[in-house]
Amino acid sequence: MIYTVTLNPAVDKTVVINDFKVDSVNRVASMRKDAGGKGINVSKVISSLGGRSKAMGILGGFTGRYIKNYLDDIGIENDFVFISGETRTNLKIIDRMNRTNTDINEPGPAVSESDLETLRDKLLSAVRNDSIVVFSGSVPENVDKDIYFCWIDDVKQKGATTILDADGELLKKGIEAGPHLIKPNIFELGRLFGTEIRDARQAAEYAGQLVRDYKNRMVVVSMGDKGALFVDRAKVLLVHAPDVEVQSTVGAGDAMVAALAYSIDRGLDFESMVRLAAASAGANVMTSGTQPAALSDVRKLENLVTFEYLKA
């Protein structure tokens, strides 16, 4: 079983506004609403790939019920702790004319220590030594930034394989627990080291440092249209992004994380994992909002994925 942990879920409202202008009246060309939050997005893509996961996290209010009902309706197992606050709504503004994607994200409701402890107990009672646990996304503002470090350490003691996809202090502290795999994008990796990373070879050097210093088995760095890097102790692989028509880049990283978790769960070999991860991310940007891509689109792109070894 793959478990996804989302401490700060959201309903993602995606609007398309052609030629979006600041400080002006803008007309919405189209709109959609999705149950979101990074871990929930991961669970949705795992389901579309034919895998099984359980989505866990914190929900509250009307928007929280909307997310749970959505997951129930599409058959994704879930186990959430409900709180008195209201789960946030995030606004995604897509301007296809100017090729921009703007995110306006709410902070999310405060979460008590007892609610977090309840969720932690649920997770620890569920995981086994063959489980995969994905920790991803932001946390409410009142939650300590070492929470991923603590929970990764907890589930590792039960033998679970852990994946971390976070930014800032959550990433900086979380990697100290030695998760099996981390997936920063190139900007998050640069922020982690306090520098601007300009190319794949420079990114590979910093990713390799994480593998050496924090005992991560693998670091995957997503780089948008420049592809992605897969770095472990023995090799560095650069995968080239498939050439697709971009509808929305929202959730592309989550799709990649989902494919990585699915690949580990199914025991796929390294190159098969690389192809599936790149194809899943590529297929995702062909969809609007955070809806998962069709499996048929992922399979088509798998055959178009190309890569090269920078170190083998």
Q: Are the C-beta atoms of 31 and 15 separated by less than 8 Å?
A: yes
Q: Which residues are within 8 A (CB) of 284 and not within 5 positions of it... i.e. 6 or more apart? A: 45, 251, 252, 254, 255, 292, 293
Residue 169 exposed, middle or buried by CB count within 10 Å (0-12, 13-18, 19+): middle
DSSP state of 224: G
E strand or H helix that includes residue 293: none
Q: Determine the Cα–Cα distance for residues 153 and 137; give it in Å rounded to an integer.
A: 18
Q: Are the C-beta atoms of 133 and 160 separated by less than 8 Å?
A: yes
Q: Determine the Cα–Cα distance for residues 144 and 110; give it in Å rounded to an integer.
A: 12
Q: Determine the Cα–Cα distance for residues 8 and 37; give it in Å rounded to an integer.
A: 7
Closest of 273, 254, 230 to residue 165, by C-alpha: 254
Any catalytic annotation for residue 254? yes
User: Which of 12, 254, 265, 297 is flagged as catalytic?
Assistant: 254
Q: Are the C-beta atoms of 168 and 161 separated by less than 8 Å?
A: no
Cβ atoms within 10 Å of 125's Cβ, excluding its own = 8
Enzyme catalytic residues: 254
